[in-house]
């Protein structure tokens, strides 16, 4: 348990230490950077949602994906009393 606590503390400390970093995805730090150097840029065919709308879309997708996952999980791994 002490090892787990130390590991978790280390992770938390490293996250806190890097809190000022922008936490950008590798799409912008790698893919779009190399594309820009080669004279190309991302141009989505479907306009990306503005502001918090994209956050809302991710929330809905997470909830829907979680529901589907849970639904099938219950079917594949039934509770012990249901198995008996």
Chain centroid offset of residue 55 CA: 11
42 close to 32: Cβ distance less than 8 angstroms: yes
In total, the chain counts a number of residues equal to 84
- The DSSP call for residue 48 is P
Q: Is 56 in the site for another protein (CB under 8 A)?
A: no
Q: Is 6 in the site for another protein (CB under 8 A)?
A: no
Q: Is 59 in the site for another protein (CB under 8 A)?
A: no
Please report how close the Cβ of residue 50 comes to another protein at its closest, in angstroms.
11
| Of residues 7-26, those binding another protein (CB under 8 A) | 8, 11-12, 14-19, 21-26
Neighbour count for residue 78 (Cβ, 10 Å): 11
Chain residues that interact with another protein, rule: CB under 8 A = 1, 4-5, 8, 11-12, 14-19, 21-35, 37-38, 40-46, 48-49, 54-55, 57-58, 61-62, 65-66, 68-69, 72-73, 75-77
């Amino acid at each position: 348990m002490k090892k787990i606590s130390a590991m978790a503390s280390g992770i938390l400390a490293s996250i806190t230490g890097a809190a000022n970093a922008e936490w950008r995805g590798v799409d912008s730090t790698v893919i779009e950077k190399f594309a820009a150097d080669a004279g190309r840029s991302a141009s989505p065919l479907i306009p990306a949602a503005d502001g918090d709308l994209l956050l809302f879309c991710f929330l809905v997708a997470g909830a829907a994906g979680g529901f589907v996952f849970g639904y099938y999980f219950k079917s594949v791994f039934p509770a012990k009393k249901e198995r008996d």
